[in-house]
Structure 1
Amino acid sequence: MNFAEAADGAELAWTSEGEGEPMLLIAGQATSMDGWGPTAALLSRTYRVIRFDHRGIGRSGKGDAERYTTRLLAEDAVAVLDAAGVDLAHVYGHSMGGRIAQWLAIDYPKRVRTLVLAATSGGKWPDAVTQPDREALDALTSGDMSRLEPLFFDAEWAQSNPAAVHTFFNSHASAWAKARHFNASREHDAWSHLGFIQAPTLLLHGTEDVLTPLPNALLMRQHIRGSVLVRVPGAGHGLHLDHPETVEWIRQFIARKSRS
């Protein structure tokens, strides 16, 4: 276990596994680096996978309360890259991690080789069709794993991978930190800035995602020049775990962009 120092002095826990070009994984709201589980293992066969715990989550310090915004959390991600000795990385963000990854690509374009955004959104949008289902949002705020599991994962996959499911939903975090993560994700709004993203971008989105409905991905594709959208049939919000075929799609996307 390693630690990076954030701008406010908070210690951010991070790990590195595998060899090859660096890939930074950015977890979702109130989720620890351990939640990447089998996906990190698969990616580490090709890349040097760097994971970290967000401030207030897992083994990282909580830091200053005012730094819980997606844009400032992107500065934490840069601190981790610096600590890992990485100037340029592929960046893969899931859900709120995707929101953070957007700011990373916008504010630090020279640090992002390619960008993968899974089950995420540009943020607030006046169109109701892009908003989470009310019942799904209630389930998210409840923290009840029995209510959340079907929104994230395929039932057969969840039954076959109980350890990965348990780890994903049971990150160590205080109510204080969870509330600030929820607010950071809810207040995210990068729509007017997405056009500045220069990195080749792959959008992965489940067709059955009720927490971040598919129209969000369609709008992001319009805003991020040259981005590629892959709709994952039948997938919910946790497609980064229960659809391991996406790992191969990511490899193919990066290989293709490396040749171009």
Structure 2
Amino acid sequence: MGGMGTALAADGTRIAYQLEGEGSPLVLLAGQANSHRWWDPVREDFGGRRTITLDWRGTGDSDRPDVVYSTEGFADDVIAVLDDAGIEDADVYGTSMGGRVAQWVAAKYPERVRRLVLGCTSPGKKHGYERGQEIRRALAQADQAGRDSILLDLMYTPSWLATHPGPYYVLGDSTMPTYARGRHLVASNNHDAWDELPKIKSPTLILHGADDLFSPAANAELLASRIPDARAHVIPGARHAYSHEYQAIASQLVRDFLATPH
């Protein structure tokens, strides 16, 4: 069963969300400056479940207020979506900035999160392992084609790109205004859930690509050491978009984890 809805956040911002399928609910949270389309290549891997995605404020069909965004605030938006959809609790799977948001969802609203999957993410700049300055400078360039080329190299291996001409769903929402992209960047860069991670009560699986330079793989074990009931799995050869390029491996790991009795 599919459908779309609009939740009202605490500040009045309208958050668009999408529902597909039936069964146990699974929330899928996208990366920075991306809409729900981030999940298009792999959403069907979770058939037999009711998947819930949303367009972050500033993206897709959601409102785009020019105000301060934060990963903690995005987490509140996720809860507004669950409330609007009438979902009491759900499994939550977030990748990249979505993984940062998922940390807050699980820490602030433990009764709403059954199991937690954190993909290619970090506890934040104060304690996490951050990408190098060279990558930061390259991604800050004004030329969009140049940025996209660098991003694709960070997301996928050259051999995969050579045989997969696109479209690519990880380069950001092209309809976003410039100010909203900036708001997303600041929100992700300012993320710091370190003190909250030990409060997470959900069984947690942490996934990461071994060759991820966008969010270094050392973050996986760091998160696993900080979250009480967590284990990490690093996928050899994978870069930041492990969930897509290594879809068969990653989606199976997630399905197995979510199906395991606790």
- AA partner of residue 220 (structure 2): A
The one-letter amino acid paired with 1:176 is: Y
Which of residues 199, 207, 210 is equivalent to 2:210? 207
Instruction: Trace 1:108-257 onto structure 2 (pairs within 5 A).
Output: 108-125=109-126, 130-142=129-141, 144-165=147-168, 167-171=169-173, 172-244=175-247, 245-256=249-260
Amino acid at match of 2:53: R
**Uncovered stretches (5+) of structure 1, i.e. residues with no partner:** none
Superposition pairs of residues 56-75 of structure 1, within 5 angstroms: 56-63=58-65, 65-66=67-68, 68-75=69-76
Cα distance change on mapping 1:254 and 1:126 into 2, 3 Å: closer
Runs of 4+ in structure 1 over 4 Å off: none
Distance 1:118 1:141 in 2: 24
Give yes or no for contact 1:136–1:151 (8 Å, CA) kept in 2. no
In 2, the alpha carbon distance for the partners of 1:225 and 1:133 equals 29
What CA distance in whole angstroms lies between the structure 2 residues aligned with 1:149 and 1:73? Answer: 25
Alignment of 1:25-36 (within 5 A): 25-36=28-39
Work out which of the residue numbers 35, 41, 50 in structure 1 matches 2:52. 50
Kindly provide the CA deviation profile for residues 152-208 of structure 1, in whole angstroms up to 9, marking residues without a partner as x.
Answer: 11334334443441x331412111001011001111111111000000100001111
In structure 2, stretches of 5+ residues that fail to align are none
Is the 1:32–1:168 Cα contact (8 Å) retained in structure 2? no
SS at match of 1:38: coil
Please say which of residues 239-248 and 176-185 is displaced more in the overlay. Answer: 239-248
**Structure 2 length-normalised TM:** 0.92
Q: Secondary structure at 1:62's aligned position in 2?
A: coil
Question: Secondary structure, in 3 states, of the residue corresponding to 1:14?
Answer: strand
Q: CA deviation at 1:118?
A: 0.4
8 Å contact from structure 1 (residues 5, 79) kept in 2: yes
Structure 1 residues 160 and 78, CA gap change in structure 2 (3 angstroms): farther
Letter in 2 for 1:249: L
Q: Secondary structure at the match of 2:250?
A: helix
Equivalents in 2 of 1:69, 1:103: separation in Å?
11
- Which stretch has the larger CA shift, 137-146 or 1-10? 137-146
Distance 1:170 1:104, change over 3 A: closer
Deviations 1:113-144 (A, max 9, x none): 100000000002357xx221222223333452
**1:23 aligns to 2:22 (yes or no):** no
The CA RMSD over aligned residues, in Å, is 1.6
**Alpha-carbon deviation of 1:36?**
1.1
Deviations along 1:52-93, one digit per CA (max 9) or x if unpaired, are: 100011111013613x01111100000111111111111011
- Maintained 8 Å contact 2:33/2:172: no
Separation in 2 of the partners of 1:190 and 1:170? 24
TM-score, normalised via structure 1 length = 0.92
Aligned to 1:103: 104
**Number of the residue aligned with 1:6:** 9
Corresponding letter in the other structure for 1:14: Y
- 1:87 and 2:88 aligned: yes
Q: State whether residues 35 and 164 of structure 1, in contact with CA within 8 Å, keep that contact through their aligned partners in structure 2.
A: no
Amino acid in structure 2 at the alignment position of 1:47: R
Taking the aligned partners of 2:162 and 2:21, their CA distance within structure 1 comes to: 28
Identity of paired residues, percent?
40
Question: What CA distance in whole angstroms lies between the structure 1 residues aligned with 2:33 and 2:81?
Answer: 18
**Deviation (angstroms), 1:38:** 1.4
Matched residue count: 253
